[in-house]
Amino acid sequence: MMNVRDYIMKNIDSNFEGELPFRIGHKEVKAGYIFTDFNQKAQNVYFLKTGIVQIEILRDEELKILDFFFKDAFFASYSSLLTHLPSDVCIKAITDCTVEIINYQELKMAYSDSLIANKLGRSETEKLYLRRVMREKQLFTQTAQQNYQSLIEQYPEVIQHIPLKDIAKYLGITPESLSRIRKKIMT
Amino acid sequence: MMNVRDYIMKNIDSNFEGELPFRIGHKEVKAGYIFTDFNQKAQNVYFLKTGIVQIEILRDEELKILDFFFKDAFFASYSSLLTHLPSDVCIKAITDCTVEIINYQELKMAYSDSLIANKLGRSETEKLYLRRVMREKQLFTQTAQQNYQSLIEQYPEVIQHIPLKDIAKYLGITPESLSRIRKKIMT
């Protein structure tokens, strides 16, 4: 099971030694736990050690699923952290999860003089940015079937853990359309 | 007129002294100049000293305007830089422009050990990320009139320098709808 320090050594700087420039909290939560709720001011960045998390947003008074996060990844209501405005997304554990927690104020203080904190912040923000751009691009240029296939190629575990109605919500289609797509792919 | 060094001292680290960890190129271009074209691999990050730049994207075989950049800001085909894939946007000068140029390979090398390079990269990527999220949110939750009003409040110079048909393209509406909105606001 990977933790923040392992992640940094694997993805950010293989030569990193010494103390992390921020404290790490630990938490185990049950499926359904809400990390950041709608209209709540986000305060933490989370690292997902085990489990699956989903990010929901309200659009046209309907609940949409914006993203899923799987183990070995950071997640947060990042716009809320950056702007200090109330979150317009809800972050929910959809399986039992184990997380490490970094307080964002502490991370920001570390940004003032820590190379590794800035490398981590830069690299993770680049990933989030790309994720956003790619998702937008998929929505504009790919069919629902292509989007479904990308999703299950990238995250085969989706099928076992996420209800079909939620996968449909993520793809922006009805559960019936998703069933048709699944039948088509399997035949 | 602000340059990269001034920008860093104003926005990133007021105590910054010494050499920048990358070279700075200079360029003056005419209106119409293309910084990065569709399908071209982006290689540089630009800092806009004077002028206005527009970012175009093809969607459903139609040219849309994704964003405008004004003086004292960095711009680039950032997804292309991050992924090394050909650019799916075109970046065009819509007035004469003066820019400073940073080669992205050099910036990436600076990321390996320079605190100021990482601070700059982190902070600018945060801004780009927020810009993207805010724009998406506006498209979903605001009317075209609200979007137009936000645009001219934030960038009053838009009106003088950008043709109405391009502002309409940016807002995703017809030039006729934009005329109606403008009349409504002015009365």
Q: Are the CB atoms for B106 and A103 separated by under 8 Å?
A: no
Does the pLDDT of residue A116 top 90, yes or no? yes
Chain A CB contacts of B60 under 8 Å are 140
Top-confidence range, A2-11, A154-163, B55-64: A2-11
| Contact (CB<8Å) B79/A130 | yes
Mean residue pLDDT of chain A comes to 92
Q: How far is CA B142 from CA A60, A84, B172, in A?
A: 11, 21, 12
| Contact (CB<8Å) A125/B129 | yes
pLDDT digit string (tens) for A71-114? 999 999 999 999 999 999 999 999 999 999 999 999 999 999 99
Distance (Å, whole) CA B62 – CA B56: 10
How confident is the model at residue A154, as a pLDDT? 81
Chain B CB contacts of A141 under 8 Å are 59
Distance (Å, whole) CA A91 – CA B176: 41
B111 at the A interface (CB within 8 A)? yes
User: Which three-class secondary structure string do you get for A116-177?
Assistant: HHHHHHHHHHHHHHHHHHHHHHHHHHCCHHHHHHHHHHHCCCHHHHCCHHHHHHHHCCCHHH
Per-residue pLDDT of chain B (187 residues; tens, 9 = 90+): 999 999 999 999 999 988 999 999 999 999 999 999 999 999 999 999 999 999 999 887 888 888 899 999 999 999 999 999 999 999 999 999 999 999 999 999 999 999 999 999 999 999 999 999 988 887 777 888 888 888 888 888 777 888 888 888 888 889 999 999 999 887 7
Residue whose tokens read 């079909």: A164
B119 at the A interface (CB within 8 A)? yes
pLDDT digit string (tens) for A23-59? 999 999 999 999 999 999 999 999 999 999 999 998 8
Q: Are the CB atoms for B135 and B67 separated by under 8 Å?
A: yes
Residues contacting residue B146 through CB under 8 Å, at least 6 positions apart: B138
What order of strands is seen across the sheet that includes strand B34-36? Answer: B34-36, B89-93, B53-59, B62-69
How confident is the model at residue A46, as a pLDDT? 98
Quote the pTM value. Answer: 0.90
How confident is the model at residue B51, as a pLDDT? 95
Tokens of A50: 């085990």
Distance (Å, whole) CA B156 – CA A66: 33
Tokens of A85: 């405005």
How confident is the model at residue A120, as a pLDDT? 98
B129 at the A interface (CB within 8 A)? yes
Q: Which of B180, B141, B143 is nearest to B164 (CA)?
A: B180
How confident is the model at residue A147, as a pLDDT? 87
Task: Report residue B92: phi and psi, to 5°.
Answer: -130, 140
| Contact (CB<8Å) B125/A125 | yes
Q: Are the CB atoms for B154 and A155 separated by under 8 Å?
A: no
How confident is the model at residue B53, as a pLDDT? 95
Residues contacting residue A144 through CB under 8 Å, at least 6 positions apart: A171, A172, A173, A177, A178, A181
Dmax of chain B from CA atoms?
Answer: 57
User: Which three-class secondary structure string do you get for chain B?
Assistant: CCCHHHHHHHHHCCCCCCCCCCCCEEEEECCCCEEECCCCCCCEEEEEEECCEEEEEEECCEEEEEEEECCCEEECCHHHHHHCCCCCEEEEECCCEEEEEEEHHHHHHHHCCCHHHHHHHHHHHHHHHHHHHHHHHHHHHCCHHHHHHHHHHHCCCHHHHCCHHHHHHHHCCCHHHHHHHHHHHHC
Does the pLDDT of residue A142 top 90, yes or no? no
ipTM for the assembly: 0.90
Q: Which of A184, A136, A145, A134 is nearest to A168 (CA)?
A: A145
How confident is the model at residue B66, as a pLDDT? 87
Distance (Å, whole) CA B118 – CA B110: 8
